[in-house]
Structures are given as structure tokens and as C-alpha cells.
Homo-oligomer: A and B are copies of this chain.
Amino acid sequence: MATRTVGVIGGMGPAATVRFMGRVLDLTPAACDQDHLRLIVDNNSSAPDSNAAIAGSGPSPAPVLAAMARGLQRAGAEILVMPCNTAHAFVGAILAVSDLPFIDLIEAAADEAAAQGASRVGVLAADGCLQAGLYQHAFAHRHLAPVLLEPRAQARFMTLIRAIKAGERGPDVREEMKRLTEELVGAGAQALVAGCTEIPLVLDPGDVGVPLTDSLDALARATIVAATRTPASPRP
């Protein structure tokens, strides 16, 4: 079966990109190497921090993201993905320089959360992702009400994400992440979205008492569908 080469705008963070690639592999039905999708990956962590850019305290990553998109298209990518939630605030810069189909992580995660049947869905996401309203917007289109952490808990979440990016994965980190999910459930969330790619590095679905959508897994599934989908035939 002909498949389309996937271009991966990566590096935000680099560990999430590697995990995304691993999940695409795991979720692809394959009996031998040759059955796997072709991924061309730019695992480039030099893009300025999206959170600082959205807060107005740092430069925009948009030029780096656009350059990666152009480079991946030139290198042979036929569809594009970006395994980072917050960077989706800058998707416009990618769409402006590439005519390739872009498989949107936020849309993929919101679709999976909507399929859970809950109406109030908790979102664990970085400051910039929330300030840009990415999940709030995607949820509104699907008649889902977002449940967010109160500001002090959100600050604890950001501290935790920085620790995970620095390589911490120990029991303290895992316990704190679990507590934050419990705060969202306590605030009425009937399901959760792990809307930051570092979360699943320290949180298993079994740690949470409600359905948990892993945004990176949702993107992996949507990527496999998009890369293997037969283009629609023209109407008769």
C-alpha cells in the first residue's frame, strides 16, 4: 500500500518527538521493517520557547517552525505534524509557507476527548497553550466545557514540566502529577486531556480515575490514518 511520507517538526521538546516516533511505530501494524511509515524528522530544539513568546516575554518560534516546515517539504515530506501542544499557537506560520496537509495535534486530541462522551473535560497544559486558548477553542467546536487548574496549581504544573524537561522522572514528580490530575477531577472533570507532551513521561492512564486522552497518542493515531488513507476518488 502506498503511504505518504510524514514530516515531523520536532524538538519541542526533543524527548516528546522521540516518544511520538515510538508511538507511531507501536501503533502501526507491521510484520517487518518495510511495513513502517517513512518519517523525516527535524528534532531541532533551537526554537525559542513558545510559552515565553505567547506571554510576550521572549522571541517567537514562528520563523524556526516555518524553516523546519519548508526544509521537511523540500526533503520529501507529504504531510506535516508537530508533536508539541503549545507550539500549535504558531501553526499559522507553518501553513503560510507549506501547502502540505497539516495534521493538528490539538484537533486530534479534542476529537478523542469528545469521543469519550464526557461533557466537562480537564486539560493539563502549559501556560502558553492555555493563554493561546488552543484547547478552549477546539473544545467549543465540540461542545465540551474545559476544566482548568486554579492559578496556584497551574504554577506547580509549570514547575513540574520544567523538572521533567531537565530529566526528572522520579516518584516525587509522578506523585505531584497525579495530585494535579486529582485536582481537575475534584473540580468536575469527567475526563482528562494530557495536553502537554511531557505529561505521559510521568503519568500512566491507570494513575487517573477518569478516561485520559494522551495528546501525543492521539496525534500518532491521526498521523497513521492520514499517511495511509487512500486519497478520495472524484465523485462519479
Contacts and interface: CB of A to CB of B under 8 A. Distances in A.
A34 B46 contact: yes
B30 A11 contact: no
Counted per complex, copies of this chain come to 2
Q: Is the interface of A mostly helix, strand, loop or mixed?
A: mixed
Contacts of A18: 18, 21-22, 25
A74 B39 CA distance: 17
* Interface band, chain A: 35 or more
A190 to B, nearest CB: 33
A11 B37 CA distance: 9
Contacts of A15: 22, 25
A11 B32 contact: no
A42 B10 CA distance: 13
A45 interface: yes
B38 A41 contact: no
Contact of A33 (B14, B22, B33, B75): B14
A32 to B, nearest CB: 6
A21 to B, nearest CB: 5
A21 B12 CA distance: 14
Contacts of A231: none
A40 B38 contact: no
Given A18-B18, A71-B76, A75-B74, A43 B33 contact: no
A27 B18 CA distance: 14
A75 B13 CA distance: 20
17 contacts: A14-B21, A15-B25, A17-B21, A18-B18, A18-B22, A21-B43, A30-B167, A34-B49, A38-B43, A40-B41, A40-B44, A41-B41, A71-B75, A71-B76, A72-B75, A74-B75, A75-B75
